[in-house]
Structure 1
Amino acid sequence: MGLAWNCRGLGNALSPTIPKIRALLSKKYYDFIFLMETKCNVSSISPLFRSFGFEMYVGMDAIGASRGLWVGWRSGEKISHVYSCMNFVILRIAKYNGLLWYLVLFYGAPKASMRASGLRGAAVFNEWKVRIELVDIPFKGPCFTWCNNRKGLNRVYERIDKALASKDWFAVFPNIGLKHYPIQISDHAPIELDLNLVQNVNRKPYKLDSWALEHEACLMEIREAWYVNIVGSPAFRTVRKLALVRQRVKSWTLDKKSEWTQKWEDFDLRLEKGMDLVIREGKDEEFTKVDEEVRAFARAAASFWKQRAKLRWTIDGDACTKYFFQLG
């Protein structure tokens, strides 16, 4: 298990990042910790983490009031340092299942102008990533790991901090996952690598019932939810709007289903009154109106149960088709 955080400064003894790191390290046992943008020298912060058991460490000193990397691990772990520079650190791990693994801890350039010009070796790294088929490790927690800390319409959220693993690693650790902590103190969120992250396998994703789209009221719910004014980046607004649409449509469909039992009884009463008007006064307007409502309601109910049954009715000849009656 490991922890990584772009903490944005550890040089000040009164920095709020230090109490937060203490709180994180006191909760769980981490094999390694990776801190970015420490903004101080390696020697000045190493004693702090030695008290938590991270006797072994490597890092890069800050340049002025920016940058700085620090990676620490416990002396009992079979971890060794391979290479390090201002943008990444490579560790060799021989702990798990007697196999040899390499851990690459990567830190991008702090300024957008530097990223635009390209990091040295970035093209080679991307080519290597594709060649060995690294896969994005699934995560739990908030969707975004970075915020520009601006206010109002200028606020932007993105998922910048992430982790990749090879197929071989997934084969050995099928429950591997990331935990995203909320963004706090820094503009980045701490992320936690867990080899045995508990997966909520019983939670099924919500699926929109096709019958609901036949109702104008449902379509209105979707339009109203989508045009709600949400502040943030385009990605953040899209995610929030999709979540809002899901919530509104799910609520609407559940309310609609609860009405169905009572609905048939209401239709029976209204049809009886309509038939009575036809017999006594010869007026069939009310009966025709209710009859059309019943047919529309029945079509929606049939669509619902057909989707629930998950059968290929028409293809297999189980539906009420001409082919079905010919076989009968």
Structure 2
Amino acid sequence: MKILSWNVRGLGRPRTVNRLKNKLRAINPRILFLMETKLSAKRMEKVRLNGGLYLGWNGNALVNLKSFSSFHIDAEIHDNENEEVWRLTGFYGNPDGRKRNESWELIKCSSQDQLRLWVVLGDFNEIFNSFEKKGGRRKSERKMSEFRTALDDYSLSDLGFVGRWYTWERGKFLTSNIRERLDRGVATFDWVNLFPNYQLEHLSHSFSDHCPILLNTISKPQNVPHNHIRHFRFEANWCLDNSFDNLIK
């Protein structure tokens, strides 16, 4: 199953909408989570829209909506491919750094659900470590630590990625260019065990300062032996170990 998450930064212009349609035709996701659409609910179909968030899907019985707010949409996924029910949360971290802890409290409230097969996708508006940012002022170590702690406390691990390193970029010139990995997927150990061949990819983009992220729960290509597949995984916490630099060298 393909799940696309994207901070599109507005869909008010017909040209932007047409570009999005072309992208969706090429990818053909089963579930679509959009952020910062800046559209009214009347202009969306099969949707829960609040604060610019949108969740769409293909298949009437696929999604059971549980809750939503300006910063999240929570749903049960009735997956007929493996006959399991698991949880998907589309997440948008508060862009106001002073209110970022409110976002982690939202994850805390969501974590109290008993369904342990859980994946969270979206724009968290925060990074794990300083190496996930290039250019601009240094990020607050305290805020990055709070982000890591929040995910650890609720048994959510970073899913890694393939493709370009950063998911957000601003500034066309080298002196003013800033890049960060703000968009990601995190999941519980049980969810990862359910989909051991998953792949999360950072896709190219043309009309937003965020790139779309595509989660494919079953990424194994047909007619290709499994042992020929090489997915790169990187655990951000490795960089916190004092021996990491020497080990790489």
TM band (smaller chain)? 0.5 to 0.7
Q: Helix, strand or coil: the match of 1:133?
A: coil
Q: Distance in 2 between matches of 1:121 and 1:203?
A: 34
* TM-score, with length taken from structure 2: 0.66
| C-alpha contact (below 8 Å) 1:146/1:183 kept by paired residues | no
Residue 317 of structure 1: aligned partner: none
Aligned runs of 1:80-91 on 2, under 5 Å? 80-91=64-75
Higher strand share: 2
| C-alpha contact (below 8 Å) 1:81/1:91 kept by paired residues | yes
1:117 to 99, 102, 117: 99
Higher helix share: 1
Residue 4, structure 1, aligned to residue 26, structure 2: no
Residue 227 of structure 1: aligned partner: none
Q: Distance in 2 between matches of 1:58 and 1:138?
A: 28
Residue 57, structure 1, aligned to residue 47, structure 2: yes
**How far apart are residue 77 of structure 1 and its match?**
3.9
| C-alpha contact (below 8 Å) 1:32/1:73 kept by paired residues | yes
| C-alpha contact (below 8 Å) 1:7/1:37 kept by paired residues | yes
Residue 185 of structure 2: aligned partner: 163
Residue 105 of structure 1: aligned partner: 90
Residue 70, structure 1, aligned to residue 54, structure 2: yes
Q: Distance in 1 between matches of 2:4 and 2:231?
A: 29
Please report the RMSD computed on the Cα atoms of aligned residues, expressed in angstroms.
Answer: 2.9
Offset from partner CA, 1:60-87 (integer Å, 9 cap, x none):
1x5xxxxx11111123342111000000
**How far apart are residue 158 of structure 1 and its match?**
0.9
Residue 78 of structure 2: aligned partner: 94
| C-alpha contact (below 8 Å) 1:42/1:70 kept by paired residues | no
Specify the structure having the higher radius of gyration (Cα).
Answer: 1
Letter paired with 2:77: I
Could you say if the C-alpha distance between residues 119 and 200 of structure 1 is closer, same or farther in structure 2, counting changes exceeding 3 Å?
farther
Identity level (%): 27
List gaps (5 residues or longer) in structure 2.
112-150, 221-225, 233-247
| C-alpha contact (below 8 Å) 1:77/1:95 kept by paired residues | no
* TM-score, with length taken from structure 1: 0.51
| C-alpha contact (below 8 Å) 1:109/1:115 kept by paired residues | yes
Query: How many residue pairs get matched?
Result: 188
Q: Distance in 1 between matches of 2:191 and 2:208?
A: 31
Q: Helix, strand or coil: the match of 2:39?
A: coil
Q: Distance in 2 between matches of 1:6 and 1:121?
A: 17
Q: Helix, strand or coil: the match of 1:144?
A: coil
Q: Distance in 1 between matches of 2:160 and 2:199?
A: 5
| C-alpha contact (below 8 Å) 1:182/1:190 kept by paired residues | yes
Q: Distance in 1 between matches of 2:205 and 2:84?
A: 35
Q: Distance in 1 between matches of 2:101 and 2:41?
A: 23
Aligned runs of 1:139-288 on 2, under 5 Å? 139-198=161-220, 201=228
Offset from partner CA, 1:80-138 (integer Å, 9 cap, x none):
1100000001001122533221111101223xxx2223353524626954244222112
Residue 140 of structure 2: aligned partner: none
List gaps (5 residues or longer) in structure 1.
47-55, 63-67, 206-245, 247-328
Could you say if the C-alpha distance between residues 3 and 204 of structure 1 is closer, same or farther in structure 2, counting changes exceeding 3 Å?
closer
Aligned runs of 1:15-26 on 2, under 5 Å? 16=16, 18-26=17-25
| C-alpha contact (below 8 Å) 1:92/1:102 kept by paired residues | yes
